[in-house]
Amino acid sequence: MKKYMDKLKSNIRINKKLFVFLVVIVAVGVASGSIFVTLLNDSDKALVSNYLKNFLENLNNNSLNYNSTLINTIIFTLGLAFLIWILGISVIGFILILLLLFIKSFSLGFSIASIIINFNFKGILIAGVYVIPHHIINLMIYLLISSYALILSYRLINSFTKKKNFDFKGIFNRYIFILFFSLIILLFSVFYEVYFAPRLIDIIVNLLT
């Protein structure tokens, strides 16, 4: 076991300064999404409120289509990770990766704030289940992929503009490892999000009503 853990650590080496920079972007995105909820007009707030109430009603009536939700969640969650990974191989990916990370964080902040605003104290507990642990895991994986993608994109830019050579094969092999490692973790996270998180939310709602 220790041998595999050592191998995993050797393949996953995070640039700490870059990682901190990405964490700041995520924090700004979550904060922006949370603030944006309060700026919505009454009709938009009503739409958000109705969506959340319909979701909880479907949970209570056990009428969620889990298979369809699973497919959509896999496509979105794993697709975003793969898109970030692909952008790392391009010289134009640098800005787009940061934008995608911000948008993902913004939507998470928007969702959390919407739940809390609409359900008050109960909303805090629901938001906690909604975020922990799968959305935290997802964000950490997106941060991991983004850090590697940005480094690779930066090196490609340097290679084209400054004619600097680098060990592309060695870096790319590690880059492929990061992709497969991330997709496996995200897949477990998706199953939790689709099959377990809704049940926990339903339990909380029933206990507090």
Q: How many domains are there within the chain?
A: 1
Domain residues for the domain of 108 are: 17-207
pLDDT band at residue 4, thresholds of 50, 70 and 90? very low
Residue 5 lies in a domain: no
Residue 9 lies in a domain: no
Residue 11 lies in a domain: no
Residue 150 lies in a domain: yes
Report in angstroms the alpha-carbon separations of 169 from 32, 148, 160, 191: 39, 14, 17, 34
C-beta contacts of 112-120 below 8 A and 24+ residues apart: 112/30, 112/33, 112/34, 113/33, 113/34, 113/35, 113/36, 113/37, 113/38, 114/37, 114/48, 114/52, 115/52, 117/37, 117/38, 118/48, 118/49, 118/52, 118/53, 119/52
pLDDT tens for each residue of 20-32: 999 999 999 999 9
Residue 10 lies in a domain: no
Residue 6 lies in a domain: no
- Give the pTM: 0.90
Q: What pLDDT, on the 0 to 100 scale, is given for residue 166?
A: 65
Residue 94 lies in a domain: yes
Instruction: Report the C-alpha gap between 87 and 178 in whole angstroms.
Output: 14
